[in-house]
Chains A and B, each alone.
Chain A
Amino acid sequence: MEELRKEMENLKDQITAVRKTFQDSTLQEAAAGVTVVGRVQLKTRKTLRGHLAKIYAMHWGTDSTLCVSASQDGKLIVWDTITTNKVNAIPLKSSWVMTCAYAPSGNLVACGGLDNMCSIYNLKGKDGNVKVMRELAAHTGYLSCCRFLSDTEIITSSGDCTCVLWDIETGTQKMVFAGHQGDAMSLGVSPDFKFFISGACDFTAKLWDIREAECRQTFGGHESDINAIGFFPNGNAVITGSDDATCKLYDLRADQELLTYQDPSIMCGVTSLAPSKSGRLLLAGHDDFNVNIWDMLKAERVGVLAGHDNRVSCIGVSSDGMACCTGSWDSFLKIWN
């Protein structure tokens, strides 16, 4: 046991040392010749009103028009963000919802939370009623996040420290991704659907190979829980947001942190994040009711979205990059561009 512990420490030191040997430069140096983005001022174009309690999650549909939101008023609402009409208002069995997701096909939505389950709803049922299609139960902790790979597969992250790949049709676990030493809080799927990343309360982010059920890389550096995680648009880097009030950019091929996005005036934890379509802008939602907009290459704050009267709990940029949606504990969603 003692030998194993020594080997563990040696390997950790080895990884740190190897990473340094590849650090022949920094992103700051590489981007030195790039001018900082000018002040970004986005306006609220739409306010989606209808939830009666805190909104905990939102997710854009792939058509860049519809989105789904989840609130602890016990409802999932599918919105047409252009008309602000509610396309579906789905009552949930458990109101303690923490996450929701829209399937790429647009046929299904999913949600889950303190019920430890991921419930799948079919939006395109024959009789027009939206019903529970499957209840994926096996996690021994709360469901913190879920993301569809297709209409037949979904990945979940949980307070039980694991992530799971499910077969929706049979309702069974295909793969269990274990390794985090703390609650898994958030996950993101790579653009090619081959990998996913998870952020956890052990202050690390992990990259997982979906088919091999293997953790490929682990990234540390944060000083508190990672609440939010996302892929850089080309799939080669990962962005994390933490209770330590910072966001970090990790490059997957260099296997290390490239930049930290922080400012002494920002003291509140990051709850959510989303990159813009080119990856140049990073939008991060905080506990202090604001969204900070960062120039991702220069690590300078270039804008603020102030419009919510309570914590910004979720944020998403549509696939066509046309708009950003924020959801808040103030019960409203706002569309900005």
Chain B
Amino acid sequence: MSGSSSIVAMKKVVQQLRLEAGINRVKVSQAAADLQQFCLQNAQQDPLLCGMATSTNPFRPQKVCSFL
């Protein structure tokens, strides 16, 4: 690998880091509060979290027929 191509590669890395350093950020307290709010607001619509009645479960156990 020639010296100039590794310099080109390094310049790209530096350029990328400059881009990433310059982004807008939000405080963790705000971000955490929003995540928490999303979870709590959507909790009732989360069947794995809340469970579901057998009658509304599309994967409900099939009734088994047995010989009497």
Contact = CB atoms under 8 A, between A and B. Distances in A.
Interface of A: 1, 4-5, 7-8, 11-12, 14-15, 18-19, 22-27, 29-31, 34, 37, 40, 42, 45-46, 65, 81-82, 179, 214-218, 232-234, 236-237, 251, 253-256, 258, 276-281, 296-297, 317, 320-324, 335, 337
A253 B26 CA distance: 5
Interface of A is mostly: loop
A321 B47 contact: yes
Given A277-B47, A317-B48, A11 B21 contact: yes
A241 B18 CA distance: 27
Given A8-B13, A30-B29, A40-B48, A335 B59 contact: yes
Given A42-B48, A82-B58, A25 B32 contact: yes
B48 A337 contact: yes
Nearest to A34: B36
A120 to B, nearest CB: 29
B26 A22 contact: yes
Given A34-B40, A276-B49, A323-B59, A253 B25 contact: yes
A7 B35 CA distance: 35
A277 B48 contact: yes
Most chain-A Cβ atoms within 10 A of its Cβ — which of B7, B11, B31? Answer: B31
